[in-house]
Structure 1
């Protein structure tokens, strides 16, 4: 008998899809979602996801093998669709017989979904609009993650609550849909499950877990932060389309604005072309995130965090976080 029968019943479809006890995914956070955190989440009954980010195929190969050495439970791999070696990374997942691949960061390029399904893995995708979600599901995607602007890292413009009202009534009866963005407590999980979600995805709540390798200074910044401190970056020049990034306000936030001005000036002068300019902008974030997570430079690094950061106020083991989320959800459902 489960201690959370109501929540588990509503999560059953998502849990069966993932092969886990609970339909709780950990959002892929570059530099944070690596072997230690991923295996801990899977071992605790959730679903850990390796953040491939800018890894080379060789690095991903090592990371999957190292994660598998720490858990015999299911876990997934998150691949960025714009990665230049995307199909090589898919081949690495195939060699390791990874069961679930999450495609993030844009519309999956032609042949990528098919390449993943060819070796028997399930494909999870993100979609900013209902029309695109339907198209991706028709094209072979097995499940959908809808993520609102409250999330940390790269975000879209619409809040989770609005996306849930748009997507779930239209898709949840026939498809596996996970909801993400701004979820910090079990009561919110219960609400989305009641609306038809198969499960949820959380990132910020797990970023400072005991098993997270994030620098103590990075974790301390989370403990100090509140919802208003997690702000979205601004786009300075319309020629340089910047996907907004939500992170805690610091000197790095200001430096990113200055970086955009500098790159736009060099674009005007013909020193760089559009592709180089956009790549420079993206590289800024990759380097800034590593400085914060690994080196602990929380002043100039990028402390990516969702608006639920105010609910993260201490370091806790992953297993305790999941037990607490499930208990809060169960209590909320029992009060209905």
Structure 2
């Protein structure tokens, strides 16, 4: 057995894949084509449900099942107003793995997912929250650092890994995410006790990804320092920072925050409505870039590993090169 298989054993057993390499759920990008390609290549694809309605998710899972010969999962956002309906859709399709992102799972959601026989994987931004999730019965954790693309927390991947892996890696499989672009980093986290990893940015330019050619070109040209976190301009409007490539859309978001903050001042909207307006802004801006190819005004969500994305290649080639690099690093260290 190769060293990487050995170190990933708990992760691959949980996922039912050849390699414990999850694809991060990226709205508009992690859909049936990319998800099935990654799973069929031995990794583990995850559908990004995002703001989808239950009917849309139903169609997306059915479409993925038609293309995938291997296991895949579905990522659900805990704040989704129809979370329990979405869980039902996953159960109807006998989806084996549900990933919950975006905060503490609401009461009853873990039980509802487990009732269908599915495994639950949750994001844990701190050690205290990770412990709480393990006590509540999650099957695995994802710890994601601020180097990642999209919505990010304030702590780097290497710090989270040092805080959480020594304490919890023996209790449940832990997948490390954020800023991973090469196999050498995968090897290092596996040696620290991780059961696997999650990558998003690295898969955006897969040939099977439906992202617009303009969106892919922007990724191929970008360096790590161009993937910047959004700035929060009003402390009353706690906007979760989003990491994306700098463009006119980044500036427009600052203007949008001011506009929403003014509405808040005037009492035109309450806090919940204000935050939802910000969320909807992001969803629309991302679609403009990924689907329509408007890379000037849309949102180019990207992790700092974007500098390591140098060509368009198949999902299978990406998985194979990551595994090869990790294996070589593990052998070099004896």
Question: Aligning the two structures, in what range does the TM-score lie when normalised by the shorter sequence?
Answer: over 0.9
Find the residue that maps to 1:158 and give its secondary structure: coil
**Is it true that 1:29 corresponds to 2:26 in the alignment?**
yes
Find the residue that maps to 1:79 and give its secondary structure: strand
Structure 1 length-normalised TM = 0.98
Q: CA deviation at 1:276?
A: 1.6
Q: CA deviation at 1:247?
A: 0.2
Matched residue, 2:105:
108
Render the CA deviation track for 1:137-187: whole Å, top value 9, x for unaligned: 110111000000000000000000000000000011121100000000000
Structure 2 length-normalised TM = 0.99
Q: For structure 2, list consecutive stretches of 5 or more residues without a partner in the other structure.
A: none
From 204, 215, 220, the equivalent of 1:218 is 215
Matched residue, 1:127:
124
Render the CA deviation track for 1:176-211: whole Å, top value 9, x for unaligned: 100000000000000000000000000000011000
**Is it true that 1:88 corresponds to 2:85 in the alignment?**
yes
Runs of 4+ aligned structure 1 residues displaced above 4 Å come to none
Matched residue, 1:163:
160
Q: CA deviation at 1:48?
A: 0.2
From 225, 228, 240, the equivalent of 2:225 is 228
Matched residue, 1:251:
248
**Is it true that 1:66 corresponds to 2:63 in the alignment?**
yes
Distance (Å, rounded) in 2 between the aligned partners of 1:273 and 1:12: 48
Distance (Å, rounded) in 2 between the aligned partners of 1:104 and 1:30: 12
Matched residue, 2:317:
320
Render the CA deviation track for 1:80-136: whole Å, top value 9, x for unaligned: 000000000000000000000000011100000010000100000011110110111
Q: CA deviation at 1:274?
A: 1.8
Find the residue that maps to 1:279 and give its secondary structure: helix
Render the CA deviation track for 1:206-265: whole Å, top value 9, x for unaligned: 011000000000000001101000000011111111000000000000110111011111
Q: For structure 1, list consecutive stretches of 5 or more residues without a partner in the other structure.
A: none
Q: CA deviation at 1:69?
A: 0.3
Matched residue, 1:44:
41
Render the CA deviation track for 1:246-300: whole Å, top value 9, x for unaligned: 0000000011011101111111112222222111111110000000000001111
Matched residue, 1:307:
304
Q: CA deviation at 1:72?
A: 2.4
Render the CA deviation track for 1:9-56: whole Å, top value 9, x for unaligned: 111110011000000000000000000000000000000000000000
Matched residue, 2:203:
206
Distance (Å, rounded) in 1 between the aligned partners of 2:305 and 2:174: 21
**Is it true that 1:76 corresponds to 2:77 in the alignment?**
no
Distance (Å, rounded) in 2 between the aligned partners of 1:277 and 1:131: 29
Distance (Å, rounded) in 2 between the aligned partners of 1:195 and 1:149: 19
**Is it true that 1:182 corresponds to 2:179 in the alignment?**
yes
Render the CA deviation track for 1:283-322: whole Å, top value 9, x for unaligned: 1100000000000011110000000000001100000001
Q: How many residues align?
A: 333
From 293, 298, 320, the equivalent of 1:296 is 293
